[in-house]
A and B are shown apart, each in its own frame.
Chain A
Amino acid sequence: MASDTHAQTVAYVRDTMIPEAEPPAMESGAIKWLRENLFSSTLNAVLTVLSILAIYWAVTHTVEWLVFGIWDAGSLSECREIRDMRIAEGIWPEGRNVACWAVLSDRWNQLLFGFYPQDLYWRPVAALVVFFIGVAPILFDSVPRKLFYFTALAPFICYWLLWGGTIWGPIFVALGFVLAWAVIRFGQGIVGPLAATIAAFVVPILYWIFVVGPLAGAVGAVAPIGIEFVESNDFGGFMLAFIIGITGIVMSFPLGILLALGRQSDLFIINKTCVIFIEVIRGVPLIVWLFTASLLLNYFLPPGTNFDLLLRVIIMVTFFASAYMAEVIRGGLAALPRGQYEGADSLGLDYWQSMQLIILPQALKISIPGIVNTFIGLFKDTTLVVFVGLSDPIGFTNLIRATTDWNGIYWELFIFVGALFFVCCFAMSRYSQYLERKLATDRR
């Protein structure tokens, strides 16, 4: 019926399509985009205009200074001379103010490596490479699992590369962990799991305290294999920031796991001890802990003991990071469904077995983004060591400004330091966001 009616009422039926017309100018291309994204309402239009003004202001006030910066000079006064000369020659307009980037080319090595001997720069670089290879299996799934063995060795290799000295020290320290593993593996059958676990803590500690020193000394005397030793005092610049940040995170990892497990534990005393430790560490600012490391740590150790400052700072930073790490891992533990715990119990696994085989692998995997974020925070906080006299990048800005050549320079150094921190932290935070997204889909 419908078609009949249609046929009777409509005299002409178009039998070809109208050629596609361009959409109206307001609804297409750049104009549409502008209208929808920038000027969709009065408020938006105002915001857009304000933003553009802000960007314009920022650009006009900085670009000239940044771009025309002088790279080739030996001191700040030379920079100023070059600038004045160019202005006098009429190459540059009157009153142009430019950056003096020459300070970076002059002090580049110090900002990156501190006082580390110049001919040994390959060592920190190699240590960084070793570190990246070591963390690769943790960070990327596609890397062969075998690399985990290398991961276990990486800290010792890095230590040896950075500080140098005899190779036997790190080797014999590493053997302590093998010893711990052996005690757990073979001791269980002999003295039972609990005693074996305790022994796995006690034996290596005794070994490290009493055996390693003389042993390494003796072997070192027989077979002196080693590379040039570098004092911690020579460490500085971004290398120092990386060392403190990375060591802090790596060493705090096992401690953080223990603290997280302790905080989840039903055992009253262990639980409360862990809670107190975590809350006390987190409740007090890092800078106070650093001053504690610098001013007080020596009081707490047996008379006559003395660590160098870098080691004391690393110890404190490790404690500090482990409290944050514990909270991150606790989050991971809490996020596991209860069924996982019950499943492990129903298989008849004991506490350590269930943790090791079922709970921790899953919990740690979900904690990785949090751990990366903790690392970013810690890495940024390494700048605070300047207050206890370590020569981190900011410490070096002070040292460099104290020379007659570069006295009075300011923005160039801080911009460089800020930019380098930004690049590192931004890359890491992007990575952690990627991980979060990936985990979200994995778990769906």
Chain B
Amino acid sequence: MKRSVIFGALTVAGLTAGAASAATLDDIQARGNLICGVTTGLVGFAAPDANGEWQGFDVGVCRAVAAAVFGDPTAVEFVPTTGQTRFTALASGEVDMLARNTTWTFSRDVDLKFEFVGINYYDGQGFMVPTELGVSSARDLDGATVCIQTGTTTELNLADFFRVNNISYEPVPIETNAEAQQQYLAGACDVYTTDASGLAATRATFENPGDHVILPEIISKEPLGPLVRHGDHDWGDIVRWTLNALISAEELGITSANVEELSAGTNNPEINRMLGSEGELGAMLGLEPDWAKNAIMVGGNYGELFEKNIGENTPIGLARGLNALWTEGGLLYSPPFR
């Protein structure tokens, strides 16, 4: 369903994006690419490289979805959104999905009318301080100047934490991570607080990472995951099960290296169902039978994506922690492909 107003002619040129209609998948297929909302830049999660190619963990999820739909991981446009514009961009249909460090909360799910399709990163809000501040617990932060990123749940958690512990602080809300980092490094704030993953990623790129510590307290639960608009369950299912396919793939030992080989057929029926050599799962989603294979081929399974973008061998060096598979003591648990 496309309608054109005043700039009728511009429609021809494609300047008007697809409308927020009931069938997002149809729109995407008609358009020929997926439009994915990402951050305006967060180390390891989404940023363009020197060739203008977007890279990162969240970007990987978008590419996997594009591959599942089109079989082509490049059939995706990335739209940088700020903390303030992201929800409107999704609600108005400007983007098809958001993969942007967005915390799954009750009010966003129910009141703002979005559907979180899963969790791709279990995070929590932490604090980073310079070692020379001599602070070992967030409860010692009385009177500290705290840099926070605005437009997030962070400022609410922070207000709650300091109020509950009856300590005073001076908030300095900053628009972007890059700017907040600069302020913190300059010493204009004593503390930088954001998601622990973001803190680790930021700290990793410092000239002297050893001069800064991340305090042990994690003051909130921040389940981050991709989200879509309320109401279009078909599309929601596609994003949800693409994410689940990535997680299951890791559990089942499917990697980008062996997916081609495994897709020919194995003696594990779940792998067969997932990769399309058995059953009709792809058709149920309205996709090709090899949708999951395509999604995994792009950047590998969840574990590979993690290792490549934010894992311990990258400059960011995040440990799997909560984000390990449930079989390895983490929280990642995909429903079965059946």
Contact = CB atoms under 8 A, between A and B. Distances in A.
Direct contact of A and B (CB under 8 A): yes
A402 B94 contact: no
Interface in B1-56: 1-21, 35, 39-44, 46-52, 55
Contacts of A389: 40, 79-82, 85, 89
A399 B94 contact: no
Interface string A201-239: 000010011101100110010000000010111000000
Kindly name the residue among A106, A233, A311 whose own CB sees the greatest number of chain B CB atoms within 10 A: A233
Contacts of B20: 304, 306
Given A172-B9, A229-B13, A307-B17, A399 B207 contact: no
Majority SS at the chain B contact face: loop
Contact of A212 (B12, B18, B55, B177): B12
5 contacts: A165-B12, A389-B81, A389-B85, A402-B40, A402-B41
Contacts of B79: 233, 309, 389
A118 B50 CA distance: 12
A407 interface: yes
A402 B48 CA distance: 8
Nearest to B50: A106
A215 to B, nearest CB: 9
A320 interface: no
A328 B52 CA distance: 41
Nearest to A110: B52
A213 B2 CA distance: 12
Contact of B3 (A216, A294, A302): A302
A275 interface: no
B5 A233 contact: no
Contacts of A119: none
Interface stretch (B178-186, B225-233, B322-330): B178-186
Contact of B205 (A166, A398, A407): A407
Interface in B49-96: 49-52, 55, 77-82, 84-85, 88-89, 92-94
Nearest to A207: B8
A153 interface: no
Interface in B170-214: 175-179, 181-182, 185, 202, 204-207
Interface string A387-400: 11111000101111
B185 A408 contact: yes
Interface in A288-309: 291, 294-295, 298, 301-302, 304-309
Contacts of A307: 7, 15-17
Contacts of B315: 404
B228 to A, nearest CB: 16
Contact of A306 (B93, B179, B314, B316): B93
Contact of B82 (A212, A308, A388): A388
Given A229-B14, A295-B85, A307-B15, A301 B5 contact: yes
A85 B21 CA distance: 59
B43 A404 contact: yes
Nearest to B77: A233
> Interface size bucket, A side?
35 or more
A80 B6 CA distance: 54
Kindly name the residue among B9, B17, B78, B179 whose own CB sees the greatest number of chain A CB atoms within 10 A. B9
Given A110-B52, A163-B15, A295-B85, A306 B8 contact: no
Contacts of A35: none
Interface of A: 76, 80, 106-107, 109-110, 114-115, 118, 163, 165-166, 168-170, 172-173, 176, 205, 208-210, 212-213, 216-217, 220, 229, 231-233, 291, 294-295, 298, 301-302, 304-309, 311, 387-391, 395, 397-405, 407-408, 410
A212 B19 contact: no
Contacts of A306: 16-20, 92-94
Nearest to A109: B52
B218 to A, nearest CB: 23
Interface in B124-159: none
A391 B9 contact: no
B3, B40, B89: most-surrounded residue (chain A CB, <10 A): B40
Contacts of B8: 208-210, 212-213
B54 to A, nearest CB: 9
Contacts of B316: 404
B80 A308 contact: no
Contact of B12 (A169, A395, A399, A405): A169
A401 B41 contact: yes
Given A209-B5, A213-B4, A217-B12, 5 more contacts: A210-B8, A220-B12, A231-B14, A294-B89, A309-B79
Nearest to A226: B13
Nearest to A74: B50
Nearest to B185: A408
Nearest to A176: B9
B14 A165 contact: yes
B13 A208 contact: no
Nearest to B27: A306
A408 B183 CA distance: 11
A133 B24 CA distance: 44
Contact of A387 (B12, B82, B178): B82
Nearest to B16: A307
A399 B40 contact: yes
A395 B55 CA distance: 17
A390 B82 CA distance: 9
A305 B3 contact: yes
Nearest to A311: B15
Contacts of A165: 12-14
Q: Shortest 10 CB-CB distances between A and B: which pairs?
A: A402-B41, A407-B205, A401-B178, A402-B47, A173-B9, A212-B9, A169-B12, A304-B19, A298-B92, A403-B47
Contacts of A170: 9, 13
B9 to A, nearest CB: 4
